Each structure stands twice: as structure tokens, then as C-alpha cells.
A and B are shown apart, each in its own frame.
Chain A
């Protein structure tokens, strides 16, 4: 060998050893940090992976420094411990880290390590067989040389290594597209940590990488080590772990109160949650795989996507209940439909409530009015009696309360009917006109914008009650009410008066949202206002007016979909 080439070989060898020792230093530091993170999911297999990397690098370094051929062979054989630990550990890490720990059981781990253990055994006993290496003698100009080529088991081990490498990447791929930048960073650095040595190994095996007769893969571990350290210190690897994600979603599906059943594109049941099993009254094992039409009544009525119009009654051996059914189509990443989720929401209690409200509505509308009309009729016979006039006034009040009750029930009926947009100006003009008719002495000032502002019609009882309250509770002979609208992204409706204001406890009851026998408001008007605003997805605030009175401010979203008018 010419002197220049010899010097170059020595220098290259020294540089190689420095890089290898650096990879051990970085790998060992990362190992310690990962060790300290135990028992975080994935920490223990990652320790195994890093130790494997350090071991392999150390063996290659000792191989380079070995003074004898025997020493070189010994370190080559020993390096297989690290070589085969890495892919198995990587695979286990990937499973553990992504929450697939149900596969990490002693028997599976033992199975996973069969090939690595056999490979190490074959390496340590390679003097007695040619499974791992095929050794032959060849002669050249310098004499007889020993040529070592890959044996049959070598390719088994290499194939197994690559298989586990790819197998470990699959669960982590999902993290690459995660919405969380932390998980994206973690998975990206993990991929760099794995792919760089793997690519180096591939290029070496393909004969595309110059080497000094040794596998240069461990050299790339220095980059892996930096990547893992970066993942640990910068992206919170083992600090912020995605392990619970999959389990949490499954838990949510299994434990949700609504019944849920998943069907594939062939309408066969592929998954079902606990609630749905009890709703349908069929064992899980009988449900899974069954055609949906045989387990879900009136299956043909269900839409491809969206809500079923009207309830679906499901009858089991013990029970018969109505359900609201919603179907959600599932598509894959390319938008191709792959199945549907059908959800069953029990509405028996809701329907009962509805029945009760209907009966109450009838009582408030018909019975109370009839009774108060009879009282009026009798009272009119004692027109001059002062006490009789008081009774008449009270009877009118009862009638009013009945009317408010009807308003409240109608309000809830509107919720069932869905959003119904109306122009705000029309709504306010109606309210003001009605108020002017009932309170002719009042001054009501209405200030509306020129543009057409559309709001939910549920605001009608809200605004009429606000204006009416402002007038009714004002003892002045000439009460004033100002109604103003400010339409921006939301609509702000201000109803101000010059009355005595409102008692603090009335507002407190509204804030609490509940009344008790000891703590209650004075009527239904304010409740109608609050419920209506809530239904319209809005907000209401009360403030004192200057110098006297109350300002009620209602803020609601616009419903500017003109087509629905």
C-alpha cells in the first residue's frame, strides 16, 4: 500500500473512532435521561434501543482497535447483541408509546426476541457453522486471503430487522400528522433517529457507501443520539406522551350514554358500544358481524347521513323506547365512504315532558281563562263595590299569569321547531305597537338601523316582555321607554326605561338559574326573557339607567340567511 494511502487510512480510522465515541457519549447521555423518565410509556424499550446503539458502536470501535484478527472477529460477533436489540426495542417502543401496550406481554416479547437471540447465538458459535457467514479462502497477489460473505441466516436477520423497523414506524406515522406540534416534533425526530442509521446500513449493504471493511451504521448513531436528545429536551419526548389518545377515544365510545353502532359500507355491524348493546337487547357477539337490517328495526328508513325524521321505536323483551337516530358517514383520507356511525338518543323522558307541557298549555289557555271570565261576569254585577273591583283586578292578574305561562310553553315549542329567522325591525315594531296600545300614556322611542337585521323569532316574547315590564313597573303617569339597536357582528338590543329599576334579588335568582320556596322572583316575565335569550344563543345584561331606571341589553347572533325568511 502506498504511504499516502496508508496515512489516509489511519486518519480515516481515527476520525471514525472519534465519531463512534461521540455516538457512544451522546447515546449514553440519552440513555440516562430516558432511564430517569421511567415508568413513562416507551421509556424502558427506548433504553434498550439506546443501549443497543451504544453497544454496537463500542464493538465497532474495539474492532477497529483490535490488534489481532481474532480480536476483530470477537468484537464483530459481539456486536450482533446490539444489532439485534435495536429493531426489537424500536418495535416495542413504538407499540408502548402509541398506547398499544396490550401487545407488550411477556410471551409476545419472548416471541419477538426469538430471531435476535438465535442470531446472537449463531454469531457467537460461527466457528462451527456457516449460517451467519460463509467463509472461503481466496488467493490474490498478496497471498491467500479469507473471504467472509453473508450466510442464509444473515438475510433472515437483516429481513427481520427491516421488518421490525417498518413495523415500528407504522404506529408513529399517525403522530406525524397530529395537530399537536409537540407530537409532530417528537415523531419527526424519532424518524430521523431511526432512518439515518437505517439508510446508512442500506447503502452499506448495497455497496454504495465506502467503508473500511466495517459496517458504518453505528457512525450514524451519533446523528440518532442527537435526534433522541433533541426529542427529549426540546419536544418533551416521554414528558408529553400520546399514549392515552387511542384508549381515551375508545373509552369515550364505549362509555357514552348514547348508543352507538358502526356499520361498514356493506351494512354489516363492525363495532358497538355498551349502551347500544343494552338498547338493542342483543349480545355483543351476536351483533358484531351481523347485517345491520337484522338488528336495527326499520333500518331502511335511516338516512345515509343526518338525522332520522321522527323517533324510532326499539322494542326489546323488557322494554319499548323511542329514540332520536343520527347517522354520521365515515370517510377515509381520500374522501371515499368507508362506513357509518349510527347513534341512538333515548327521548322517552323528553316525550313525556312534552306531553306534560301540552296538558299544562291546555290548562293555562282554556281552564284558567274560562274560570277568570266567569269571575268577571259575576263581579260586574257588583260594579260599585270597592272590594269586588279588587277581586276583579286580581282575577285579571291570574289571567295574565296564565298568559305568561302559555308564552313560556310556546317558547319551548319553538325550540323543538328549530331556528326561525325574522327581521328585527318588524319584531320590534310589533312589540312597540302592542305596548302603545296597552299603555297609551307611555312614550316609547324606537331607534332601528336602516339595514335589514335578521334574528331568531324566539326573541319576540323576550322583547315584548322587556318593553312590557319597563312600562308596567313604572309608577310614573307618563313612563318613557327607549329601544335602540346596534347591529355589528352580533345584534345588540337595548331597552331602557326611567322607572324605579329592578330589585337585586330578582337578578340574583336569574343568575342562579333556579328558584326555591324562599328565594324566588316575582313572576314569569324575566324567566321568559332569560330562557328566550338562552335559546337564541345570546346574552342579557342589566344596568342602572341615568338618572333613574333600568337598561336591559340583549346581545344575540344574527341570522342573516335570507333564504330561510
Chain B
């Protein structure tokens, strides 16, 4: 039996080792979280979840659209972060430092992601390829130095109230809804129209939520967003209004038999979740978490659909 002093020494050795292990685990978790957040990789998961929602809502067979949407999402958002690395240094120094540290790797990864997305879309035919190229085309048009007149015109669109958010939402909704349809040569049905409007307005809300935090910076550079023009409280009310309009749309589609029960329940549940998130707009200082919470609705919808299906609804 070891004596007391030996036991004590042994315990002393174990505790620091245990602590070191915990610290390592926490550090690794923190680094992973930063990498997912700053590289926009988490958006890929959200895009995948939304694409799966479209497939389910429109009863489409499994096709590569979610994969393509995920890859394009990563490429476009990563490209944006690489392009804005200098301006982000002031507004988001941690993200900017991460992007700068891994600039070459992230640049190659984002380019490779878009390349892979296009190669996959090729097998769907010219239409999926064209839709996959759409975000890239928008990106080219925004680059004012490429086609100065067109570029400047598009740059100005970014400053126009509602239009700026609508362009982003439209591109997002087109990719999400039309790409799966194009892959299986499916027609644009009433259900597709409802889902399209749902994602268009949902993206609109998700784009305006972070604008509350950015309102002073946006105002300084002459960009008109809802919080800049109407203030925080009125923005919150407008976002409530949009969400409630979506509730009415989904309910109407359900009543008319356009959407199935599990899909309708899942979408309505998701809208309820967004209403709660919207309630925090302007009432919390955790802006990044609020923005991510809004985007995470996609997971809530998929989870609710799974529950509804399992429950036999």
C-alpha cells in the first residue's frame, strides 16, 4: 500500500494532466467553432438542410441539388469574406484575422468548391448549370471594375432600400428551389411557388436581422436598410409582419392541399421559431448569435418534419 505522501503526489500529477486534457479539448472545440463560423462552413449545413426541405416539400426524388447548393454557398460566402478581409478588420477583427491567416487555403478551397459544384451541375444539363452559375454571375456584376457601367449600376442597387436585400434573397431562393427542379426536369408547380415565396421572404428576414447591428456602419456608407430607414422597433414590427404573412401563406397552401401535413407543420413550426428570434431583434447585444439563430431555422424545420413523419401525421 503506498504511503500518504506518495498518494498525494500521484493525485497532484493526475489533476494537472486531467486539466490539460480538458483545456486541450476546449481549445480544439473553440478552434473548430471558429473555423466553422469564420469560414462560413456552417452555412453549408444550413443550405443543405434548406435544400432537403425543398426536396421534401415538393416531393422530388433525391438529386445532387443540395450538394451543389452547399458547395456554391461555401464558395460564394467564403469569396465574400476573402474580398472583404480589409473592411472586416474593423467590424469583425477575429474573423478577418482567421481569414487572413488561412487566406491561400480558403481561397483555393472556395474556388475548388465552386468548380466541383459546376462539374456536378453539368450532369444535370444546361439548366442546372445555368442556375449554378447564377450566383457567380451576380458576383461578376457586382465587381464594378470589370464592367464599370454595369458594375456601378449594381453597386447602386445595393444601396437601395429593400432592393438590396431582395436581390440576395432572390438569388438564394432561385438556387434553392429551381435547382432541384431543373435536376429532375420537374415543372414549376403551385407547391414550388409557395416554397419559392417562403424561402424568398425567409431569406429576406434572415438578411435584415444582422442589419440591425450594422445600421450605423450602413448609414455611414449610404446603404439603406430597414433599420437605417425605419429604426429598430419598426424593423422588428416589419419582420413580424413578414413572418405572419408567411404563416398565412403556408396555412392557405395547407388548406388548399398544396402542401402536405408534415411539411406544413414543419414550416409553421419554423415560422414560430423565427417569430421568437425576431422578438430579440434590438433587445440583445449578442448580435452574431442572434443572426446564427435566425439562420438555424432550417434545422428546426427539418427536425419538425422528421418528428411529424415519425408521429404519422
**Taking A32-B114, A58-B129 as contacts, is the C-beta distance between A39 and B145 under 8 angstroms?**
yes
* Complex Cα–Cα for A20 and B118 (A): 12
A25 contacts the other chain (Cβ, under 8 Å)? yes
* Complex Cα–Cα for A38 and B115 (A): 19
* Complex Cα–Cα for A515 and B207 (A): 71
Size bracket of the A interface? 20 to 34
A29 x B111 contact (CB < 8 A) = yes
With beta carbons under 8 angstroms apart, the residue of A24, A30, A31, A65 that contacts B119 is A24
B111 x A21 contact (CB < 8 A) = no
* Complex Cα–Cα for A233 and B111 (A): 12
**Whole-angstrom distance between the Cβ of B234 and the nearest chain A Cβ:** 39
B115 x A27 contact (CB < 8 A) = yes
B252 contacts the other chain (Cβ, under 8 Å)? no
B145 x A30 contact (CB < 8 A) = no
| Chain B contact residues, majority secondary structure | helix
A62 x B115 contact (CB < 8 A) = no
B125 x A28 contact (CB < 8 A) = no
* Complex Cα–Cα for A513 and B110 (A): 58
B115 x A26 contact (CB < 8 A) = yes
Residue-by-residue, is A409-453 near B (CB-CB < 8 Å gives 1, otherwise 0)?
000000000000000000000000000000000000000000000
Report A-chain residues with C-beta under 8 Å of the C-beta of B104: 233
B122 x A21 contact (CB < 8 A) = yes
Size bracket of the B interface? 20 to 34
Report B-chain residues with C-beta under 8 Å of the C-beta of A21: 119-120, 122-123
A28 x B82 contact (CB < 8 A) = no
* Complex Cα–Cα for A39 and B146 (A): 10
A36 x B115 contact (CB < 8 A) = no
- Which chain A residue has the least Cβ–Cβ distance from B136? A32
B66 contacts the other chain (Cβ, under 8 Å)? no
A33 x B111 contact (CB < 8 A) = yes
A32 x B125 contact (CB < 8 A) = no
B118 x A24 contact (CB < 8 A) = yes
- Which chain A residue has the least Cβ–Cβ distance from B132? A28
B116 contacts the other chain (Cβ, under 8 Å)? yes
Report A-chain residues with C-beta under 8 Å of the C-beta of B108: 29, 33, 233
A22 contacts the other chain (Cβ, under 8 Å)? yes
Residue-by-residue, is A6-44 near B (CB-CB < 8 Å gives 1, otherwise 0)?
000000000001001110111111111100101100000
- Which chain A residue has the least Cβ–Cβ distance from B108? A233
**Whole-angstrom distance between the Cβ of B248 and the nearest chain A Cβ:** 42
**Whole-angstrom distance between the Cβ of B143 and the nearest chain A Cβ:** 8
**Taking A21-B122, A233-B104 as contacts, is the C-beta distance between A32 and B129 under 8 angstroms?**
no
Report B-chain residues with C-beta under 8 Å of the C-beta of A529: none
* Complex Cα–Cα for A31 and B111 (A): 8
A61 contacts the other chain (Cβ, under 8 Å)? yes
B112 contacts the other chain (Cβ, under 8 Å)? yes
Q: Within residues 61 to 107 of chain B, which ones have a CB less than 8 A from any CB in chain A?
A: 75, 79, 82-83, 104, 107
B125 x A65 contact (CB < 8 A) = yes
Report B-chain residues with C-beta under 8 Å of the C-beta of A33: 107-108, 111
**Whole-angstrom distance between the Cβ of B108 and the nearest chain A Cβ:** 6
**Whole-angstrom distance between the Cβ of B139 and the nearest chain A Cβ:** 9
Considering residues B82, B107, B114, B118, which has the most beta carbons from chain A within 10 angstroms of its beta carbon?
Answer: B118
B110 x A28 contact (CB < 8 A) = no
With beta carbons under 8 angstroms apart, the residue of A36, A61, A233 that contacts B122 is A61
A32 x B111 contact (CB < 8 A) = yes
* Complex Cα–Cα for A33 and B109 (A): 10
Report B-chain residues with C-beta under 8 Å of the C-beta of A29: 108, 111-112, 114-116
* Complex Cα–Cα for A311 and B184 (A): 88
* Complex Cα–Cα for A166 and B123 (A): 35
* Complex Cα–Cα for A29 and B79 (A): 12
Report A-chain residues with C-beta under 8 Å of the C-beta of B115: 24-30, 32
**Whole-angstrom distance between the Cβ of B183 and the nearest chain A Cβ:** 14
**Whole-angstrom distance between the Cβ of A313 and the nearest chain B Cβ:** 56
B126 contacts the other chain (Cβ, under 8 Å)? yes
Report A-chain residues with C-beta under 8 Å of the C-beta of B123: 17, 21
- Which chain B residue has the least Cβ–Cβ distance from A225? B115
Using CB atoms and an 8 Å cutoff, list the residues of chain B in contact with chain A: 75, 79, 82-83, 104, 107-108, 110-112, 114-116, 118-120, 122-123, 125-126, 129, 145-146
A-B contact pairs, 21 of them (CB 8 A): A17-B123, A20-B122, A21-B122, A22-B119, A28-B111, A28-B115, A29-B114, A29-B116, A30-B115, A32-B111, A32-B115, A36-B82, A36-B83, A36-B111, A38-B146, A39-B145, A58-B129, A61-B122, A62-B126, A65-B125, A233-B104
Instruction: With A30-B111, A38-B146 given, name 8 new contacts (CB 8 A).
Output: A21-B123, A24-B118, A29-B114, A33-B107, A36-B107, A36-B111, A58-B122, A233-B108
**Which 10 interchain pairs have the tightest Cβ spacing?**
A29-B115, A25-B119, A28-B115, A32-B111, A25-B115, A21-B119, A29-B111, A29-B112, A28-B118, A33-B111
